[in-house]
């Protein structure tokens, strides 16, 4: 009987949640009757179904079912997932301050290994190092741990303690540590450095609460180093907070310039966001890098700079998400993310790609087919394929499109990875070799390189290292002529020569991540990054765009 009343209560709460949502007050008779039907069905299933049902699971299924009728971006987020989402976008979490990886351990069970130690965090304070194998947490063996086990045992409230034991490559004894958990920053500016004497590069991975402050600090640092032009990398950035994107754009545009507008059905949903005076980047050419994974807030930035002729957009057509979600917290810590409006770039374009209901799989297939259909075409050729109804005009008179993401001004299609690279990447061999080499040489590396600048400039993967890498690759199943058993279709020395520079750079970059942090990865790989290299040749076009805008 207790379970019966609990489930009836959940059904009524579900109906109450829907009634109370602020997107639109449901007061008409049809809406009341529909809500009554939902509560009645929920009660009947719980009372009459042949087997006992889990009320929470049923409620969550009902929520997901309703959202599937709306659009691909409205979503229900359960309480456990919501906690992780909040950490990602609030820009911090509480724990010991490491990134980790799993490597093969005893009896095939995964071994928990420190990949990097976050600077200034609790783990660095006690002397934990990249490469340390964590074998025990609070007396519990970590063999066979999964990611959820790591989160459960190492994360925790600030000020609490956790005891761990580690095995350090090159040391015989097990090393114990007691770490006091602290607040750990999650940085969304992944890299900020000077590509050359005048070109600054900033990589932004998401739009979290701290992103604008991180971006502003990065700009100041690069300007002190002589930055006269900026390359802003938004590739792979799926978005985040809209207001943070608006603040970033505001740094590039003059006072009162329209950044983005939004319109929805609910009262008060129509808004315009405009620039304020004294942006730090109102002068100087800008190139913005985007790809098919750049979405939402990234597209607000790219769209505003393109429409105002303020930045040259380079890369591949962006994702095409022009919907604005409002998040509503539910009583158990879960949340509803409901689309409440569309956003429009300054020229008036809606960049949302078409969808039918909330069938996300079909939606993503349609996007993939669209991108595949445009493969190897130029921006002009793609532009011609869009109807006039989806064409808009920038402030300087250039034609841009809506209804399918942000079309770059200059498209860079990626090189197709060779069969050799695919074989190596499918086995994660550059990372594996970097870990093995680092385990053996980390003390000498740390003694020689105090900072990443010196390492990036001086360290080279020599032929002895590369030969050892090829030997490892052969041992792991990549058929290479001259290394172990070979077949007629084995990769030749010529195949290796074509990818030699890229693979050496990749090994060096993977070592840099372990020695320093992820930020060191980007400047090492940029000579092998086709989009960055082609963008570096487009500064005359970016400067010409800026000249037109200023006239």
DSSP string, 271-327: EEEE--S--TTSSS-EEEEE-TT--THHHHHHHHHHHTT-SEEEES------EEEEE
CA atoms within 13 A on the CB side of 456: 19
**Domain 189-413 sits in which CATH superfamily?**
2-enoyl-CoA Hydratase; Chain A, domain 1 (3.90.226.10)
Helix (H, G, I), strand (E, B) or coil at 258: strand
Going from the C-alpha of 330 to that of each of 40, 217, 334, 336, the distances in angstroms are 21, 36, 5, 7
pLDDT recorded at residue 239? 93
Name 458's Cβ contacts closer than 8 Å, sequence gap at least 6.
Answer: 449
pLDDT recorded at residue 107? 64
CB-based contact 227:198 (threshold 8 Å): yes
Helix (H, G, I), strand (E, B) or coil at 250: helix
pTM of the model: 0.85
pLDDT recorded at residue 470? 96
pLDDT recorded at residue 15? 37
Name 381's Cβ contacts closer than 8 Å, sequence gap at least 6.
Answer: none
- Domain ranges across the chain: 2-67, 92-185, 189-413, 419-516
pLDDT recorded at residue 485? 67
Phi, psi torsion values for 413, nearest 5 degrees: -85, 140
Within 10 Å of residue 22's Cβ, how many Cβ atoms? 12
The CATH classification number of 92-185 equals: 2.30.42.10
Helix (H, G, I), strand (E, B) or coil at 506: helix
Each residue's pLDDT tens digit in the chain (551 positions)?
444 333 333 443 343 334 334 334 445 677 888 888 888 888 898 888 889 989 888 888 888 888 888 888 888 888 888 877 777 777 778 899 998 998 877 666 678 999 988 887 899 888 899 999 999 999 999 988 888 899 899 999 999 999 999 999 888 889 999 999 998 888 899 999 999 999 999 999 999 999 999 999 999 999 999 999 999 999 999 999 999 999 999 999 999 999 999 999 888 888 999 999 888 999 999 999 999 999 999 999 999 999 999 999 999 999 999 998 888 898 888 888 899 999 999 999 999 988 887 788 888 888 888 878 888 889 999 999 999 999 999 999 999 999 989 999 999 998 888 999 999 999 989 999 999 999 999 999 999 998 899 999 999 999 999 999 999 999 999 999 988 766 778 999 999 999 999 999 999 999 999 999 889 999 999 999 999 999 999 999 999 998 877 76
∠ at Cα 206 (201, 210), nearest 5°? 90
CB-based contact 98:125 (threshold 8 Å): no
């Amino acid at each position: 009987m207790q379970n019966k009343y609990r489930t009836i209560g959940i059904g009524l709460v579900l109906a109450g949640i829907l009634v109370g949502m602020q997107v639109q007050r449901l007061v008409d008779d049809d809406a009341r009757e529909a809500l009554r039907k939902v509560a009645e069905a929920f009660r009947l299933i719980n009372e009459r179904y042949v087997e006992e049902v889990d009320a929470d699971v049923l409620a969550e299924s009902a929520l997901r079912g309703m959202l599937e009728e709306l659009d691909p971006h409205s979503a229900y987020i359960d309480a456990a997932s919501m906690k992780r989402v909040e950490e990602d976008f609030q820009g911090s979490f509480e724990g010991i301050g490491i990134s980790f990886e799993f490597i093969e351990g005893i009896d095939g069970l995964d071994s928990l290994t420190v990949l990097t130690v976050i600077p200034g965090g609790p783990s660095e304070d006690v002397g934990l190092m990249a490469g340390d194998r964590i074998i025990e947490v609070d007396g519990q063996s970590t063999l066979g741990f999964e990611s959820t086990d790591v989160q459960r045992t190492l994360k925790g409230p600030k000020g609490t303690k956790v005891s761990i034991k580690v095995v350090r490559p090159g040391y015989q004894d097990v090393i114990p540590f007691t770490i006091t958990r602290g607040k750990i920053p999650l940085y969304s500016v992944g890299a900020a450095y000077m590509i050359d004497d005048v070109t600054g590069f900033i990589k932004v991975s998401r739009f979290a609460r701290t992103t604008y402050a991180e971006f502003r600090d990065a700009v100041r640092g690069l300007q002190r180093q002589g930055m006269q032009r900026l390359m802003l990398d938004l590739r792979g950035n799926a978005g985040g907070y809209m207001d943070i994107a608006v603040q970033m754009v505001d740094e590039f545009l003059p006072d009162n310039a329209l950044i983005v507008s939004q319109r929805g059905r609910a009262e008060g949903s129509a808004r315009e966001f405009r620039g304020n005076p004294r942006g730090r980047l109102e002068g100087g050419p800008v190139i913005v890098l985007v790809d098919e994974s750049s979405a939402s807030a990234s597209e607000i930035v790219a769209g505003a700079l393109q429409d105002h002729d303020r930045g040259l957009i380079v890369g591949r057509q962006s994702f095409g998400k022009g919907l604005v979600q409002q998040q509503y917290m539910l009583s158990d810590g879960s949340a509803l993310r409901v689309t409440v409006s569309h956003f429009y770039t300054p020229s008036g374009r809606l960049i949302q790609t078409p969808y039918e209901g909330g069938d996300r799989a079909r939606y993503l297939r349609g996007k993939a087919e669209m991108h595949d259909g445009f493969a190897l075409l130029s921006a002009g050729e793609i532009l011609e394929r869009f109807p006039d109804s989806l064409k808009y005009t920038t402030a300087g008179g250039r034609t841009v499109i809506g209804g399918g993401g942000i079309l770059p001004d200059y498209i860079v299609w990626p090189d197709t990875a060779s069969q050799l690279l695919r074989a190596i990447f499918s086995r994660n061999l550059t990372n594996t070799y970097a870990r093995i080499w680092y385990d053996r040489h980390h003390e000498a590396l740390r003694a020689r390189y105090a900072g990443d600048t010196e390492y990036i400039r001086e360290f080279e993967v020599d032929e002895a290292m590369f030969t050892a890498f090829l030997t490892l690759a052969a041992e792991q199943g990549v058929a290479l002529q001259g290394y172990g058993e070979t077949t007629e279709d084995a990769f030749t020395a010529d195949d290796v020569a074509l990818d030699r520079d890229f693979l050496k750079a990749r090994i060096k970059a993977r070592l840099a991540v372990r020695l320093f942090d992820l930020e060191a990865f980007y400047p090492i790989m940029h000579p092998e990054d086709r989009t960055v290299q082609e963008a570096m040749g487009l500064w005359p076009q970016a400067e010409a765009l800026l000249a037109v805008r200023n006239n």
